[in-house]
Structure 1
Amino acid sequence: MPTLRASLVLLAVLTLMICAAAGSMTGRAETGADPLAAMIGDPLLARSDYIENCGGCHGVDGRSAPAQLPELQGRVGYFMCTPDSRAYLIRLPNIAHSRITDNQQLADLVNYVIFGIGGTSAPRGTKPFTEAEVAHERQFALSSVSLKAERARHVESAIRKCGAPASLRQLFVMPAPTH
């Protein structure tokens, strides 16, 4: 059980990270350089929701390695290339059954992941998730399928139909050692 001091230190670190993100997002939005601001109602809340609900496993910056979970950074956007794989993202149990019950807030979180953490991996012209789309897809949460097999199916589709890199087959890509 963490001590009060350790909990306060963790809270302070998270607060600093959120404040730093808020400052950088605000600066970009004012100059019109932040595309997230145009598709997410509250980018700071979306990032905070990601850190709270997803960051513990997928990493604060979307790098889950060496955990055996899919790395999101620079990769998750490839799942937006077909309607089926797009729906898969919302139907994932931890998304569909999220404690975030407001569908627009959840759409903002997923859009933050796709367009923020995913970087340029989303195909050009990809439309962000809407409140209505999230509400619809949540009804079909995945429960009786192998998530590993389902992910593999969507990865193959993204590679074949959308030119995603073959490295997407790996859960994560370890950086090459530097000499």
Structure 2
Amino acid sequence: MIARSRLAAVLATALLAASSPAWAGDDPAASQVQHYSGVKADYAFRCKGCHGFDGEGTPGHVPRLRGFVGLYTWLPEGRDYLLRVPGAARSRLDDARLAAVLNWVLATYGAGQVAPGFAPFTAEEVGVARRRPLLNQKEVRARLIAEMRAKGLIGEGEDGLGVSPEHRG
């Protein structure tokens, strides 16, 4: 019994010390730790593993979001594509939270690119889109990329799979 109360006292002291802001002053890196909540946390836990914190994706494999995702809003099929792309449609987030993440992604990584009058995604349309999985994602994406080129939204060598122009050496 005495051992348990000593253990509890040690744990309580450790937790109190760890929660104190004083520890952050000793370590400059610790003061830069970011805490996420809400939609930003949903992105961090469900999307950043593939798309990264900065929305850069994985060159050659996972499309970047930063500086590219907003271009889909200029295409008639773009809205549907963003709703039904496998990473979004199969997300474990409920419809309302996924709609919020999609809107946050457009505002954060597609800032300045979103077509005028593009309406925010809704939970209802997310729910409907998830019932129609995108089975030919690569084919649809290729068609949308070609349409972006034809409209002059992107250049000939651009496809959203490479490193964004602002991060090239």
User: Do they fold alike, i.e. is TM over 0.5?
Assistant: yes
Candidates 147, 152, 165, aligned match of 2:154: 165
TM-align CA RMSD: 2.3
Candidates 109, 124, 127, aligned match of 2:119: 127
Distance 1:48 1:70 in 2: 20
Candidates 113, 122, 141, aligned match of 2:105: 113
Rg larger in structure: 2
SS across alignment from 1:121:
coil
Candidates 129, 147, 154, aligned match of 1:137: 129
**TM-score normalised to the size of structure 1?**
0.67
Residue pair 1:62, 1:117 contacting (<8 A) in 2 also = yes
**TM-score normalised to the size of structure 2?**
0.71
Candidates 33, 40, 48, aligned match of 1:55: 48
Judged with a 3 Å threshold, the aligned counterparts in structure 2 of structure 1 residues 170 and 72 are, in CA distance, closer, same or farther, namely closer
- Which ranges in structure 2 are unaligned for 5 or more consecutive residues? 1-28
1:45 partnered with 2:38: yes
Residue pair 2:50, 2:58 contacting (<8 A) in 1 also = no
Corresponding residue for residue 80 of structure 1: 73
Deviation at 1:64, TM superposition (A): 1.8
Candidates 142, 145, 150, aligned match of 1:152: 142
- Which ranges in structure 1 are unaligned for 5 or more consecutive residues? 1-11, 20-43
Judged with a 3 Å threshold, the aligned counterparts in structure 2 of structure 1 residues 168 and 17 are, in CA distance, closer, same or farther, namely farther
Corresponding residue for residue 35 of structure 1: none
Q: Runs of 4+ in structure 1 displaced over 6 angstroms?
A: none
Corresponding residue for residue 176 of structure 1: 168
Identity %: 34
Question: Of Structure 1 and Structure 2, which has the larger fraction of its residues in helix?
Answer: 1
Deviation at 1:173, TM superposition (A): 2.7
1:95-127: per-residue Cα shift (whole Å, max 9, x none)? 1121112x1111000111112122212112221
Distance 2:40 2:127 in 1: 20
Residue pair 1:81, 1:122 contacting (<8 A) in 2 also = yes
Residue pair 1:58, 1:71 contacting (<8 A) in 2 also = yes
Residue pair 1:75, 1:168 contacting (<8 A) in 2 also = no
1:157-176: per-residue Cα shift (whole Å, max 9, x none)? 23334x41225424123533
